[in-house]
Homo-oligomer: A and B are copies of this chain.
Amino acid sequence: MTNAVPLTEIWRGPMAESLHRGHAVICDDTGAIVEAWGDPKATVLPRSSAKMIQALPLVETGAADARGLNSEHLALACASHNGAAIHTDRVRAWLGDLNLQDGDFRCGAHMPKDKAARHALIRADEKPCQVHNNCSGKHAGFLTLTQHMGWGPEYVEPTHPMQRACLEAFEEMTGETSPCFGIDGCSAPNFATSMHGMARAMASFAAAREGRNARETAAVRLWQAMVAHPELVAGEKRACTELMRACKEPVALKTGAEAFFIAIIPGRRLGLAVKIEDGATRAAECTIAALLVRLGVLDADHPATRRFMNAPITNWRGIETGTIKPANGLL
């Protein structure tokens, strides 16, 4: 982590108050690095930025088709959603289609990020369910494949065939042997790779062709589902959703905890990976926006862009006190 470079600055009045360092890699469809900041060899946990890789087995085994999943299901399988009604209604229905219940999830429960949903729970004095977990779509995907294959119920155990399938897809897409894993917030193993490996995996998504083989067909269906349903991948006002909508061409975007962010740009056959070393989401969002502007797929002055890059910081009286901006050399 020691070679991280400045990627995002937080200004207050006339001075830089805080600074975020990190790593960023842009990879092409040969797996070669086009451009990099920081250390492409840094070992990282991509967290939820790996969700579309974790969804590959669901699609390429044929389970998704056998169970009648559509592009909304696939977008939710790749999502870290807000737990708004548009998310939880769909995941609940999906679970019902499987004849399963909330207790079959292994993701744990947490309060939804969506304000309306959260306040409704507080007003009703109700606790959140596992369906509210931002990863419940991924877990519904895990449950679908697990049921389809007749595997056992403890699908987040690292030795469970569901997670072995994820690891296999992960190593094939990154082109690297994963050195280790951590347990994610949602209890699934999260496999480590290098920054280069993660950008290479995203470039493989970008370069995939429908019909060439089961893997590539699955990859195309997944990024297309994300691009078709940006509101399901995160939610209103969230960077993934807002920036996917703002891009001038199809781009799949996905955040991950501890300030990971990826982009899949099929039109350029490019993959991007960003990791802020300190784990600050605000900096991952600013950095990915800046790199999308740099690559010409996002306008710097689009209102959505300006919510994350060169965004004003305002205080409790609405006074603009500073700005969050990309470090020199990013744009």
- Which of A's residues lie within 8 Å of B, judged by CB? 1, 4, 10, 12-21, 43-45, 106-110, 119, 122-123, 133, 180-187, 190, 192, 258-259, 276-280, 283, 315-319, 321-322
Q: Which of B14, B192, B315 contacts A185 (CB 8 A)?
A: B315
| Bound-complex Cα distance A279 to B180 (A) | 29
Query: What 13 new A-B contacts, CB under 8 Å, besides A13-B182, A17-B182, A184-B321?
Result: A4-B19, A14-B180, A15-B43, A15-B180, A18-B258, A19-B278, A108-B318, A122-B123, A133-B316, A187-B316, A187-B317, A276-B278, A278-B283
Residues of B within 8 A of A183 (CB): 12-13, 315, 319, 321
| Bound-complex Cα distance A109 to B13 (A) | 21
- From DSSP, what is the main secondary structure of chain A's interface residues? loop
CB of A102 to closest CB in B, whole Å? 13
B182 touches A19 (CB 8 A): no
A316 touches B108 (CB 8 A): yes
A18 touches B277 (CB 8 A): yes
| Bound-complex Cα distance A263 to B133 (A) | 38
B317 touches A106 (CB 8 A): yes
